[in-house]
Amino acid sequence: CSVQNVRGPSKTFPKHETRHISDHKNVARCAKFSPDGKYFATGSGDTSIKFFEVSKIKQTMLGDSKESSGRPVVRTFYDHVQPINDLDFHPISPILISGAKDNTIKFFDFSKTAARKAFRVIQDTHNVRSVCFHPCGDYILAGTDHPVAHLYDVNTFTCFLSANPQDSSAAINQVFSYFCFTSFVLQWF
């Protein structure tokens, strides 16, 4: 039996230009666009969240210096004490949530320009690895170091756990919305 060194065609990538827009003091662990595509946010191991406006990034990339407010980072949120694992935007309201190793889910109102801290906090019992709003915005699904996903009512902060959790000893790394989320929620109600 002989082994042949077979090479496929090499991939070529289009030329692109990279421009520095902002950075964290540690790794960027997560990033998320707002539902309307006007904003995005990044969460970091340095415990900060950078909130960007896409149109300002486009101005920066095009080199349009006519507008003085072209700084792409709209603001930086500081309120976690451990690295941020995930972010999600509310589907309707100007709210950004973050899940972090400090066992919290924090709510930030990005419509208030002076806001730098969370206006609401859910204290979980485990490291919050991922967060996801239900499409209606009334619920948050959180994946944690606990083997059962945590479903929170946004208005009451009530946490719903499945009555019949499957035997599992693994953490939940990622939760996501729409069809899978809806059927998952309906099993609880």
Which CATH number is 28-186's, of 3.20.20.140, 2.10.69.10, 2.130.10.10, 1.10.760.10? 2.130.10.10
Helix %, strand %, coil % of the chain (to 5): 10, 35, 55
- 130 contacts: CB under 8 Å, gap ≥ 6: 85, 86, 99, 142, 143, 172, 173, 174, 175
Buried b (16+ CB within 10 A) or exposed e, 73-93: eebebebbeebbbbbbbbbee
pTM of the shown model: 0.75
pLDDT for 14-61, tens place per residue? 776 666 566 766 677 899 999 999 999 999 988 899 998 888 887 777
The Cα–Cα gap between 74 and 71 comes to 7
pLDDT for 108-163, tens place per residue? 999 998 888 999 999 999 999 999 999 999 999 999 998 888 999 999 999 987 65
- DSSP state, 158? -
Inter-residue contact 53 to 39 (CB < 8 Å):
yes
Reduce the DSSP state of residue 167 to 3 states and report it.
coil
What pLDDT sits at residue 15?
Answer: 72
